Structure 1
């Protein structure tokens, strides 16, 4: 079903439509057998990704989603039946402000409530501090979203939290293989090689979970959904990458100190390097999801990509030529 402009079709406001998660939501709604009007926002409506969405029938609105722009944000949510809300952790650069992120998330929930929406789908994350019983408290880019989750549940609007697992694309960034010898690359992380990590090809599949929530017979109010395709250890990820590319890739478990030193040497601020270190450590010791997180399996309209699927459809020349 194509995206429509017919006012008889429900309007879904998709925050971040020109980005990875929001773009996936637009994709999934466009694949549905139901028709939707879609509105999204961007600071620059002339950028190529915004133009592509506009050509597909999406209403693209120029908007700064900041706490000091309340009136415009409230107006932009008017008429929505459902909203997909996310906050961009690094929108202010690598030195992000968790307080600002929380405030912007709360603003959008207030705007959705004022619009009288039937449901809010929020891109949240689990609390590593809670999962680890207070052992790991520095995963700040998770905790800022946890505060928004709490605010949304208290809003009185039907509210579901989607918690995405690790991005498959992390193998190009935080988990990027580094050349350690002629024709040998290593993925080096502070986590046990056999510890399972939830994985999802976000661009291809994340939106399916959002569509499932919107199209549910009863909106899944106050539920938390685990958003992933499969659980796979780091050593298995590396093995499958090696098999698919023909490159010799190995996994090295390293110390927290070595990880933080390596990340900061590559230009990452210390507080973020510490946050990622604690994230891997927490996953290795305590897992990622709480027991009450709903796992949907394959009930998503189409098959989601496994890690092996993702690896096989990617071009890895830029990674192994580096």
Structure 2
């Protein structure tokens, strides 16, 4: 089975599982086909969506300090690499990097971004890995001289459940052993700011969320009325997270591979969580996997942070 067919089969299997359980919930990784990846890049440019521009400002201001934490001859692994915009602010300051290894589930999008990056840094060894980084995957061999270090920007860690976050820390503690991890986190803040960021006036986030259903029609032949669902995003204060859902507007049927799933009016398919953190709480969670807290860079409003974590030896 080729990679595309295998990915399609996993999508179908996971969607069947999501639709057959209560409450219904599917992994946000299925947002990111080529259309979804393009929509997310549009979200990052929206006036309401502060995380991207805030994190980019931190990288521009402190990229040299962050690169210094990584050391010379580093093999830099970016998890969920996407468009490779942010990593440029690290690569520009790295001391003779061994290689850059971007890992992303969206193969066409990743390879296109790598081609653009190679033009900007023709001497850099770029070794893309098309994979779901939350699942077992292979990386190129470790560098002989430098350290293997990780970069996980964008507060993507917030999409994980607490158990998934711990699993990510345990995986990277092994994968990056002797190195470290630079990771972005969205901080706890006024819920009104969060609500606006996930319910933009232009409706791009709604299109991004609804694209998951459109993808099921395109790739899996799913049968349903697209007008029967709408985007729903809200802040769950007790859980300290934004939740995104696809809300069924009426009683309706969703058919996948000949299997019918019934939706009641008001029932949802939960598509994403985006957890918000305190710095101390996040460092404590990382410490349970053996990471040691290092420097922290935060914007003046205290909305977003990049943290350096030293991986266990």
- Give the structure-2-normalised TM-score: 0.36
Q: Choose between structure 1 and 2 for higher RCO, CA contacts under 8 A separated by at least 6 residues.
A: 2
Query: Which protein is richer in strand relative to its size?
Result: 2
- Give the structure-1-normalised TM-score: 0.36
